Amino acid sequence: MVNKEEAQRLKELGNKCFQEGKFDESVTHFTNAIKNDPQDHVLYSNLSGAFASLGKFYEALENANKCISLKKDWPKGYIRKGCAEHGMRQLDNAEKSYLEGLKIDPTNKSLKDALDKVRREKLIENMEYINHINTIIENDEKLKSYKEENANYANELLDTIKAINSNPMNIRLILSSCNKKISEGVEKFFGLKFNDDSAYEAEREREKERQKKKEEEEKKKKEEEEKKKNRKPEEILGEEHKLKGNEFYKQKKFDEALKEYDEAININPNDIMYYYNKAAVFLEMKNNEKAIETCLYAIENRYNFKADFTQVAKVYNRLAISYTNVKDYDKALEAYRKSLVEDNNRATRNALKELERRKEKEEREAYIDPVKAEEHKNKGNEYFKNNDFPNAKKEYDEAIRRNPNDAKLYSNRAAALTKLIEYPSALEDVMKAIELDPNFVKAYSRKGNLHFFMKDYYKALQAYNKGLELDPNNKECTEGYHRCVYKIDEMSKSEKVDEEQFKKSMADPEIQQIISDPQFQIILQRLNENPNSISEYIKDPKIFNGLQKLIAAGILKVR
């Protein structure tokens, strides 16, 4: 049933959560909004954006496609689709999506910017691929002969490799449509043998690779030696001072190390690694400002130096460390991201993620203020009393951000979420409240209520029982327990089957384990033939406990 007003309310909640960076919550709100208005293309667009922000690009793509199917002439749908494909590294598909959008709105700046970005990345990626492919070809006589026969061999190989990377599950299907020469090139590129499962052949290939690697290392060594022979006098002398500086650095004689690196720079000012080493000394001396200054100078003059991409990436990494030391996290993150553009390697990706987590943690901790948390809790309580549950939840959200270790705040938010019929989210909050304060009786009563509303009656009983263990006279737990027992008794004697509860119960791993147990299968068969025989099993706690769960779950009827 369509309810546009409710859909709009949930959409606004989703947008608010999205702006606050609470993407999981925004996904929940947009999903619920779609249930109320499944033909609103904007809702699918918003849900796609939320999934993309969580890095769930497959789900983002699904919703972007749904958005486009509902509104083919809306440019933003193609932005969402391209963004999801971009995140999945399907750069060709992303480019096509942005171009489709520009057919509808040729002046759309967002589409143009996104298209430019994906094309730049494609260019860089293609350059890296083609360089790697050419290196492989040059070091393999057979592939080299294929390239001599077909001048476009490297580009054809590139297209096939990109197709595989975009859809690795279809690698054998892709290879089956290629000629033998392309297949051999792909195998060399990935270092695998796709068409021969023989262990002997696999080992032969590995041995060839080991031999090839050894030859490459020897070749590289010879090239280095040749390079040394052809070095200019200033390069040789500069390198000597650098090596002396390295020795002083290892001995923690930093002033002497700086002197040697400066001498190396005076003699040969065009080697970026001298500045890189010099910045390392400043870091050890806790002089982060000088380290930053040195790295920035090296980066600004990178095109005047002899510097490859990996060397520039190293300087960016050192710059990031320097900014991190002075807690300028935004600039540090920017430096790591620029490093990845130069050399996309795992170590830098991990450093970037770690710094993002650290920044988020410190910002979260700096935001903590129990006094302000109490103020927001009181405001939330006032909204709650006036039945303004969305604003009550909003105040409890802020209170939790201000004091994330107060169990009562999660319990209060759970109450507001319960009123908003967001039971799963409310259950998460009461579980957090119990985690923070295992003796918090009110959290158990609310947990029981939520399980009751969600028709998990046995879990509701467990929650009420736990609350009564802590406080035997607790009114809420006592009333909840009796209400739950009455409901289970009513349900077990009813001829009517609650389909929703039955499906939910059958999906519960605990219930599945019970009904798949051979012993219980025999017992259930006997009870089906003679319901009165249940009294035989009361003496065995394990069996009776399992039967109680099945009765509470609506699986077993007792008449």
Please name the residue that has the structure tokens 């910017």.
113
pLDDT tens by residue, 192-250: 665 544 443 554 566 667 777 777 777 767 766 666 666 677 778 888 999 999 999 99
How many domains does one find in the chain? Answer: 2
Quote the domain boundaries for residue 67. Answer: 4-124
Q: Is the C-alpha dihedral spanning 248, 250, 254, 259 positive or negative?
A: positive
Tell me, what's the pLDDT at 307? Answer: 82
Residue 47 lies in a domain: yes
Tell me, what's the pLDDT at 207? Answer: 62
Residue from 472, 426, 420 nearest 449 by CA: 426
Contact in structure between 54 and 23 (CB atoms under 8 Å): yes
Q: According to the per-residue pLDDT averaged within each range, which of 38-42, 127-131, 164-168 is highest?
A: 38-42
Q: Is the pLDDT of residue 296 over 90?
A: yes
pTM beyond cutoff 0.95: no
Overall average pLDDT of the 139-151 stretch: 82
Overall average pLDDT of the 132-141 stretch: 81
Tell me, what's the pLDDT at 175? Answer: 67
Range in 136-150, 168-182, 308-322 the model is least confident about = 168-182
pLDDT tens by residue, 396-443: 999 999 999 999 999 999 999 999 999 999 999 999 999 999 999 999
Cα separation of 534 and 515, whole Å?
16
Tell me, what's the pLDDT at 194? Answer: 56
Residue 188 lies in a domain: no
The set of residues, in sequence order, having a beta carbon less than 8 Å from that of 338 and lying 6+ positions away, is 316
Q: Please identify, among 313, 347, 366, the residue that sits at the C-terminal boundary of a domain.
A: 366
Tell me, what's the pLDDT at 212? Answer: 76
Q: Is the pLDDT of residue 318 over 90?
A: yes
Residue 558 lies in a domain: no
Tell me, what's the pLDDT at 553? Answer: 73
Overall average pLDDT of the 104-120 stretch: 90
The set of residues, in sequence order, having a beta carbon less than 8 Å from that of 9 and lying 6+ positions away, is 390
Pick 342 or 502 by higher pLDDT: 342
Residue 538 lies in a domain: no
Pick 521 or 16 by higher pLDDT: 16
Overall average pLDDT of the 158-170 stretch: 68
The set of residues, in sequence order, having a beta carbon less than 8 Å from that of 238 and lying 6+ positions away, is 264, 265, 267, 268, 271, 274
Please name the residue that has the structure tokens 């008794």.
489
Residue 110 lies in a domain: yes
CATH of the domain at 77: 1.25.40.10
pLDDT tens by residue, 430-477: 999 999 999 999 999 999 999 999 888 888 999 999 999 999 999 999
In the predicted model, what is the mean pLDDT of the chain?
86
Tell me, what's the pLDDT at 199? Answer: 42
Token couple for 469 = 């263990």
Q: Please identify, among 333, 348, 366, the residue that sits at the C-terminal boundary of a domain.
A: 366
Using pLDDT thresholds of 50, 70 and 90, give the confidence band for residue 141.
confident
pLDDT tens by residue, 522-552: 777 777 767 666 666 666 777 777 777 777 7
Residue 237 lies in a domain: no
Residue 259 lies in a domain: no
Token couple for 356 = 């993002």
Cα separation of 204 and 447, whole Å?
62
Contact in structure between 308 and 272 (CB atoms under 8 Å): no
Residue 484 lies in a domain: no
Overall average pLDDT of the 371-389 stretch: 96
Q: Please identify, among 366, 394, 429, the residue that sits at the C-terminal boundary of a domain.
A: 366
